[in-house]
C-alpha cells in the first residue's frame, strides 16, 4: 500500500462539523423503533414457523384486543377535571371490588376501542374497535368493527377459529385445535392479551403504592388508580412508565386504561357499553368463515382428559392442589406429550409430558402446570437444569424480573425453592424447578394464595 | 498496514461490544457508532457538503447498520462494512435530493500546526478544501479513505464497491490535484 502521509494529515486537518444538536437523540429513538420492528419480525417469523399459518400474525392482535376488552374498559375519563370529586379512596376497597366483580361475573360483553400506536401488535392502525363477549367457561368472541376480523374460542373443545380480511380483500383464516387451557402453554388468544394487559388489574390487588382517586367517568362514579410501571429497557421510548386505570364503582369492573410515557399518552383502551351477567344470544360463539376463506388448520397437541387418566398419559402422577381459594373449581384438565417452549422469547427447552390444570371462578382463572425438566436434545441434556430453564412465565424480553425467592414448607414441593413474581405486566405466579418437573402456579391469585396453593400440591394417586 | 483509529477495531470498547450490538443491544451499538463516527462524518461531509445532509445520510446509515448488523458475517472488517453503508447512504442522499452540492470550502478554523506562518496554513487548507471539492466524487472518496482514514486499497475497494485497481487509479488522479493545491499552486 502506498499512502501519502502528508496529504493524509492535511486532509484530516480539514474541519468537519459535529452533528447537529439532537442527532443522537433522534438516532436513539429510531433505533428503538427498529428494535420494536425487529422484535415484531422475530415474533411473526416464530409464529409463522410454528403454526405455518398465514393468519397467525393477526391472531395476536385480535386476541389481545379481546382480552383487554374483558378486563379493562378503557376510558376517556381523563378529560374529567381532577378538581371534580377528587377524594382519596381506599385502595383496599377498590381491590376488593375488582376481585369480587371478576369472580362473580358469569358473562360480560361490550365494545372495546384501542387508540394510539400499539407498536408491537397494531403497528398499522391508530384506532381499532371490536365487540366482544366472554363467559366464565372461557368461551370468547371478538368481532371487528373497524376492520373485518372475527375470532371465536370454544373453551370446552380447545378450538379457536379466526379470520382476517386485509385491505386488498384477501382472506386469511385458520382453525387452531388442541390448545392448552392457559399459560404458559399455547393458549387461546384472549390469554395472549389477558396476560399482558388484564393482569395489570389483577396485580393491582397486590399494589400498595398506587394513588387512588374518586372521579366521574361518563357520568358515573369511578375510581382512578395511578400506578408507575417499569418501561421496557429495550424500547423505553415506546413503553409506558405509568398506568392510569379507571374502575367503575358500581360494577367494580375496570373500564379504562391509559398507558402513559412521561405524561404523554401512548395508548388508550376503552370499554364501552359493558354488560355484565346478561344473557348472550344463541350462537354468540359461532363463527362462519367467508366463502373465499381456506382455513389453515393446526393441532397444538393438548388433549382434554379426566384427571384420573393423566398419570397414564404422561407417565407421572400429576401435582394437584389440595387447597384452592373459595369459589375456584377445577374446570379443565389437559395433557400434551410434547409442547412448545416457554419462557422469555421461548428460550426454555421444548416441553415434554405437560399437564395443565385450569381452575375457574367467574372470570378468574388460575392454572397449575407441570412438565418434565429433563431434556433430551443433544447438546442440552448434558447441561445443568438450572442453566436450561428459566421462568416459564417470565414477563418478557426487555422487562427484567426480580422475583421473590421462597422455600415451600409443605406438600409435595416441601423444601423446594420457588420464585414468586407479582408485577403489573404479568400474571401473578410462582415457578419451581426440581430434578423431575418444572412447576408453575399462576393466575388471579394473591401472593398468599399462590404460596398456599403451592404448599398444598400433592401427587394425585 | 497501518490503520487510523477511525478504521481500527473496536477492541477498546470491550470484548463483547460487537456481539452485544449484533444481538440488538442499543447501548453497545451506540458505542460502536461513536467509535467510528468521526471518520464517517468526515467522509459524509466531504461528499455531501453540509451538515444537515451529512446528518441525514448518517442517520440512515446507522439505522441500516443496526438493522443489518445481526447478519454481518465478518467478511470484511466492521469498519469497512460501516463505511460502505455510509458511502452508499451518501450516494442515496445525493440521488434523492438531486441538488447541486455546495462543498465546504471554509476550512479556515485554527488547527494545531507545525508551520510557522498561520496565514500560510489557513490558505493551504482553503486551497486543499477547494481542490478536494473539485474532485469527482469517486476520487474524493478514494483519497479520503486511503490517505486520510488509513484504509488499504482492498479495504477501500470493499467500502466503495470497486476493484483494487480502480482504487489505485482514482488515487493517482486525486493525489496529483491535491498535492498541487497543498503546494500552493493552482493546478486544479
The stretch A394-404 carries a mean pLDDT of: 78
pLDDT (average), residues A279-303? 85
CB nearest to B55's CB, from A5, A23, A31 = A23
Q: Measured between CA atoms, how close is B67 to chain A, in angstroms?
A: 7
Q: pLDDT of A320-337, one tens digit each?
A: 999 999 989 999 999 999
Contact A142, A128 (CB under 8 A): no
The shortest CB-CB distance from B148 to any of A12, A23, A31 is to A12
Q: Report the C-alpha gap between B188 and A330 in whole angstroms.
A: 89
* Number of other residues whose CB lies within 10 A of the CB of residue B112: 6
- Cβ-proximal residues to A416 (8 Å cutoff; 6+ apart), any chain: A407, A408, A432, A434
Which pLDDT band holds residue B19 (cuts at 50, 70, 90)?
A: confident
| List of residues 6+ apart from B163 with CB closer than 8 A | B157
Which among A5, A13, A16 is the nearest to B41, CB-wise? A16
Nearest to B125 among A13, A18, A27 (CB): A13
State how far the Cα of B79 lies from the Cα of A253, in Å rounded to an integer: 57
Residue pair B158/B173 in contact (Cβ under 8 Å)? The answer is no
Chain A with chain B: Cβ pairs closer than 8 A: 103
Question: Cβ distance A358 to A365 under 8 Å?
Answer: yes
Give the number of C-alpha atoms closer than 13 A to the C-alpha of residue A138, restricted to the C-beta side: 28
Note whether B175 contacts A7, CB cutoff 8 Å.
yes
A112 Cα distance to chain centroid: 17
Cell of B97: 435530493
- β-bridge partners, A225: A212, A245
Candidate ranges A48-52, A72-76, A238-242, A323-327; pick with highest mean pLDDT: A323-327
Contact of A13 with chain B, judged by CB distance below 8 Å, is answered with yes
Q: Which residues of B touch A4 (CB under 8 A)?
A: 147, 175, 179
Name the percent of chain A lying above pLDDT 90.
21
CB contact under 8 A, A11 and B147: yes
Highest mean pLDDT among A4-8, A244-248, A363-367, B58-62: B58-62
Report the relative pairing of strands A254-261 and A220-228 from DSSP bridges. unpaired
* Lowest model confidence (mean pLDDT) among A353-357, B21-25, B41-45: B21-25
pLDDT, position A346:
65
Contact A17 B107 (CB under 8 A): no
Distance CA A191, CA A199 (A): 10
- Percentage of residues in chain B with pLDDT exceeding 70? 73
Q: Which of A71-80, A369-378, A391-400, B47-56 has the lowest mean pLDDT?
A: A71-80
Highest-confidence segment of A130-134, A210-214, A336-340, A435-439? A435-439
Residue A36, by phi and psi: left (phi above 0), alpha (psi -120 to 50) or beta? alpha
Which residues in chain B are closer than 8 Å to A27, comparing Cβ atoms?
Answer: 30, 33, 59, 62-63
Question: How many C-beta atoms surround the C-beta of residue B46 within 10 A?
Answer: 25
Cα A309 → chain centroid:
30
Distances (CA, A) of A205 to A40, A230, A324, A455: 31, 18, 18, 22
Give start and end residues of each alpha helix (H) in B7-163. 17-22, 26-48, 51-68, 78-97, 118-134, 137-143, 153-160
- Angle (CA) A235 A238 A242, round 5°: 110
Q: Taking chain B, what is the end-to-end CA distance rounded to the nearest angstrom?
A: 31
Look at residues A227, A201, A197 and name the one whose alpha carbon lies nearest to residue A212: A227
> Given an 8 Å threshold on Cβ–Cβ distance, is B143 in contact with A11?
yes
Within 13 Å, how many C-alpha atoms sit on residue A332's CB side? 27
Cell digits for A402? Answer: 426480580
C-beta separation of A254 from A217 below 8 A: no
Q: Are strands A429-433 and A140-144 parallel, antiparallel or unpaired?
A: unpaired
Q: Is B78 on the interface with A (CB under 8 A)?
A: no
CA distance A158 to A62: 17
Q: ipTM of the predicted structure?
A: 0.81
Distance CA B41, CA B148 (A): 12
Check residues A343 and A204 and name the one with the higher pLDDT.
Answer: A343
Pairing of strands A107-115, A351-361: unpaired
Q: Among partner residues B59, B132, B179, which is closest to A30 by beta-carbon distance?
A: B59
Task: Test B132 with A4 for CB contact under 8 angstroms.
Answer: no
- DSSP calls for A15-52: --PPPPTTHHHHHHHHHHHHHHHHHHHHHHHHHHHHH-
What mean pLDDT is predicted for residues A142-160?
84
- SS3 call for B162: coil
Q: How far is A433 from chain B (nearest CA, A)?
A: 28
- In chain A, the residue whose alpha carbon lies closest to the alpha carbon of B141 is A11
C-alpha cell at A298: 393446526
Alpha-carbon distances, residue A50 vs A43, A45, A182, B14, B21 (angstroms):
10, 8, 18, 37, 27
Give A142's strand partners: A132, A151
For residues A59 and A121, the answer to whether their CB atoms sit within 8 Å is: no
Name residues whose C-beta falls within 8 Å of residue A2's C-beta, 6 or more positions apart in sequence.
Answer: none
- For position A371, what pLDDT does the model report? 96
Q: Please tell me the distance in Å from B98's CA to the nearest CA on chain A.
A: 22
The residue-averaged pLDDT of A352-360 equals 95
Sheet strands side by side (includes A429-433): A303-304, A329-339, A351-361, A364-372, A437-443, A429-433, A417-421, A404-407
Enumerate the residues of chain A whose CB falls inside 8 A of the CB of residue B142. none
Helices A23-51 and A56-71: crossing angle, nearest 10°? 110
At A407-434, the pLDDT tens digits run: 999 999 999 999 999 877 778 899 999 9
Residue B73 has pLDDT above 70, yes or no: no
| Residue that the C-alpha cell 381491590 belongs to | A95
- Measure the N-to-C terminal CA separation of chain A; round to a whole number of Å: 80
pLDDT band at A196 (very low <50, low <70, confident <90, very high): very low
Output the nine-digit C-alpha cell for A259: 398507558
Q: What is the mean pLDDT of chain A?
A: 76
Amino acid at each position: 500500500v502506498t499512502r501519502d502521509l502528508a496529504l493524509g494529515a492535511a486532509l484530516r486537518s480539514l474541519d468537519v462539523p459535529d452533528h447537529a444538536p439532537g442527532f443522537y437523540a433522534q438516532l436513539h429513538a429510531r433505533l428503538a423503533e427498529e428494535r420494536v420492528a425487529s422484535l415484531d419480525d422475530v415474533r411473526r417469523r416464530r409464529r409463522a414457523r410454528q403454526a405455518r399459518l398465514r393468519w397467525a400474525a393477526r391472531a395476536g392482535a385480535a386476541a389481545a384486543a379481546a382480552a383487554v376488552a374483558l378486563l379493562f374498559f378503557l376510558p376517556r375519563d381523563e378529560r374529567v377535571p381532577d378538581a371534580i370529586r377528587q377524594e382519596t379512596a381506599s385502595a383496599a376497597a377498590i381491590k376488593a371490588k375488582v376481585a369480587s366483580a371478576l369472580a362473580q361475573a358469569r358473562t360480560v360483553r361490550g365494545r372495546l376501542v384501542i387508540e394510539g400506536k400499539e407498536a408491537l401488535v397494531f403497528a398499522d392502525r391508530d384506532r381499532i374497535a371490536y365487540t366482544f363477549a366472554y363467559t366464565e367457561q372461557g368461551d370468547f368472541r371478538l368481532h371487528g368493527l373497524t376492520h373485518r376480523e372475527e375470532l371465536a374460542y370454544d373453551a370446552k373443545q380447545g378450538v379457536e377459529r379466526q379470520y382476517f380480511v386485509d385491505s386488498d380483500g384477501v382472506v386469511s383464516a385458520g382453525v387452531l385445535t388442541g390448545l392448552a387451557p392457559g399459560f404458559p402453554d399455547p393458549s387461546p388468544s384472549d390469554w395472549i392479551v389477558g396476560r399482558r394487559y388484564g393482569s395489570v388489574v389483577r396485580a393491582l390487588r397486590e399494589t400498595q403504592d398506587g394513588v387512588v382517586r374518586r372521579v366521574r367517568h361518563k357520568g358515573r362514579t369511578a375510581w382512578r388508580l395511578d400506578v408507575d410501571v417499569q418501561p421496557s429497557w429495550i424500547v423505553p421510548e415506546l413503553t409506558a412508565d405509568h398506568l392510569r386505570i379507571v374502575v367503575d364503582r358500581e360494577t367494580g369492573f375496570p373500564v379504562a386504561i391509559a398507558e402513559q410515557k412521561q405524561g404523554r399518552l401512548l395508548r388508550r383502551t376503552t370499554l364501552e357499553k359493558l354488560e355484565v351477567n346478561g344473557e348472550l344470544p344463541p350462537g354468540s360463539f359461532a363463527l362462519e368463515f367467508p366463502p373465499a376463506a381456506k382455513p389453515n388448520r393446526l393441532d397444538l397437541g393438548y388433549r382434554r382428559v379426566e384427571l384420573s387418566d393423566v398419570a397414564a398419559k404422561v407417565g407421572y402422577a400429576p401435582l394437584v392442589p389440595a387447597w384452592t381459594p373459595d369459589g375456584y373449581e377445577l374446570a379443565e384438565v389437559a395433557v400434551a406429550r410434547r409442547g412448545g417452549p416457554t419462557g422469555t422469547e421461548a428460550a426454555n427447552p421444548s416441553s415434554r409430558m405437560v399437564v395443565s390444570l385450569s381452575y375457574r371462578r367467574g372470570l378468574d382463572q388460575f392454572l397449575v402446570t407441570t412438565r418434565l425438566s429433563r431434556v433430551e436434545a443433544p447438546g442440552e441434556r448434558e447441561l445443568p437444569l438450572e442453566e436450561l430453564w428459566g421462568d416459564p412465565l417470565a414477563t418478557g424480553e426487555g422487562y427484567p424480573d426480580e422475583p421473590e425467592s421462597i422455600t415451600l414448607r409443605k406438600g409435595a414441593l416441601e423444601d423446594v425453592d420457588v420464585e414468586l413474581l407479582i408485577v403489573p405486566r404479568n400474571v401473578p405466579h410462582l415457578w419451581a424447578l426440581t430434578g423431575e418437573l418444572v412447576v408453575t402456579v399462576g393466575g388471579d391469585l394473591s401472593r398468599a394464595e399462590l404460596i398456599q396453593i403451592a404448599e398444598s400440591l400433592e401427587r394425585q394417586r | 498496514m497501518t490503520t487510523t483509529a477511525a478504521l481500527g477495531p473496536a477492541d477498546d470498547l470491550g470484548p463483547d461490544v460487537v456481539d452485544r450490538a449484533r444481538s440488538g443491544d442499543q447501548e453497545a451499538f451506540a458505542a460502536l457508532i461513536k467509535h467510528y463516527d468521526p471518520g464517517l462524518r468526515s467522509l459524509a461531509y466531504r461528499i455531501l457538503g453540509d451538515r444537515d445532509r451529512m446528518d441525514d445520510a448518517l442517520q440512515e446509515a446507522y439505522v441500516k447498520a443496526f438493522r443489518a448488523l445481526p447478519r454481518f458475517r465478518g467478511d470484511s472488517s466492521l469498519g469497512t462494512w460501516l463505511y460502505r453503508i455510509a458511502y452508499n447512504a451518501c450516494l442515496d442522499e445525493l440521488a434523492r435530493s438531486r441538488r447541486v452540492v455546495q462543498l465546504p470550502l471554509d476550512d479556515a478554523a485554527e488547527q494545531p500546526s507545525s508551520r510557522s506562518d498561520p496565514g500560510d496554513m489557513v490558505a493551504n487548507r482553503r486551497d486543499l478544501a477547494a481542490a478536494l471539492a473539485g474532485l469527482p466524487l469517486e476520487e474524493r472518496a478514494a483519497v479520503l479513505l486511503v490517505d486520510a482514514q488509513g484504509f488499504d486499497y482492498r479495504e477501500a475497494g470493499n467500502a466503495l464497491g470497486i476493484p483494487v485497481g480502480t482504487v489505485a487509479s482514482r488515487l493517482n488522479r486525486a493525489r496529483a490535484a491535491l498535492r498541487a493545491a497543498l503546494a500552493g499552486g493552482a493546478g486544479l
